[in-house]
Amino acid sequence: MSDLFSPINVGAISAKNRIVMAPLTRDRAIRDGRIPGPHSAAYYRQRASAGFIISEGTQIRPDGQGYLDTPGIHSKAQIEAWKKTTGAVHEAGGKILAQIWHVGRVSHTSLIRTAPVAPSAIRANTQTFTEAGMEPVSEPRALSLDEIKQVIEDYGTAARNAREAGFDGVEIHGANGYLVDQFLRDGANKRTDIYGGPIENRVRFMAEVVDSVSAAIGADRTGIRLSPVTPASDLQDSDPQPLFDLAVSELAKRNIAFLHMVEGATGGARDFVPGFDFQKLRKLFGGVYIANNGYDRQMALDAVARGAADMIAFGKLYISNPDLAERLKANAPLTEPDKTTFYGGGAEGYIDYPALEGVA
């Protein structure tokens, strides 16, 4: 039987345990250039005992940004800056993957100096974080077919950039109402061409993004995060089970390294859509399945032991417990995070949480 603390091979990536640090937006990038902030290397290094780390969402191009002070992976300066972080994690014996994203319609003109892009010109009923604070997102415009082709190519370029920056692989952000998710779900996708309408068409963009990234860096270093039922960023689908059955079946054909699944509403109820069958998706995929959303230690132990998941991703607990993997193994007390320091700021609430030996 597998154990939460046993090693596992995830495609080309060897993980020393089955605990994943989930991607966490912290809004601490340097605004000029959208490069990782001065404490990024220390922050990720402190958490290197995870099986592997998935970085904060990192935009693939300038119009992919949706929140103030998030980093990119589309310029030479960004690549060079990320090398300090990936080097620090590797020096500490860890592995780190870049989560590459394009937020699509979940953006604001003040951040990207143009209208956000999306599958369809449907404004999301949500807000985003700008220099003025929380503001409603801007009206998006629909991507043309030629523009879609370019975005897909840009995902592949971002993956190559991530490898050049020293990341061990990438996770495509296909969850939480951002661009890939917008193409998948009919709440945002009203297209009538080959990327819209029937589920076979709505899955196409995701599949082509995966193909682009896999061609750039290898399927064995490519993963994807999905959230089939979360209402995050004002997104929904009229019939999610057949849609995601098909989406995951397409992923299974491509032999990617892992599927990272948000089970339920992101940060909320695991049974948000009663009866939705995540274990069916796990079986359809057939490869390494990373489960995410509201797991505690016992839930994680049980899920891996019974084969319901291969790895478990933890988010908020990694903010305040840099040595979470060791604490879970020792069944040691966990520190609660300070929510007021989640987004923006400097070292406070970022690199000043003590490791286990500093806990009374």
Active site residues: 178
Cβ 295 vs Cβ 3: under 8 Å: no
CA 27 to centroid of chain Cα atoms: 15
Tell me 107's DSSP state: -
The pairing of strands 141-142 and 170-174 is: unpaired
CA atoms within 13 A on the CB side of 155: 31
| Residue matched to tokens 């990373």 | 290
Among 189, 130, 141, 160, which Cα is nearest to 343's? Answer: 130
Pairing of strands 8-10, 258-262: unpaired
The tokens describing 75, both together, are 């310029």
Is-contact 70 56, C-beta < 8 A? yes
The one-letter amino acid at 36: P
Q: How far apart are CA 191 and CA 268, in angstroms?
A: 30
Q: How many helices (H) and strands (E) does the chain have?
A: 12, 14
d(CA 326, CA 53): 15
Residue 99: in which H helix or E strand, if any?
Answer: strand 96-101
Residues whose CB is less than 8 angstroms from the CB of residue 349 and which lie 6 or more positions away in sequence, other chains included:
319, 337, 338, 340, 341, 342
Residue in the block written with tokens 């809004």: 27
The amino acid present at 48, given as its one-letter code, is A
Decide: 56 and 23 in contact? Cβ < 8 Å.
Answer: yes
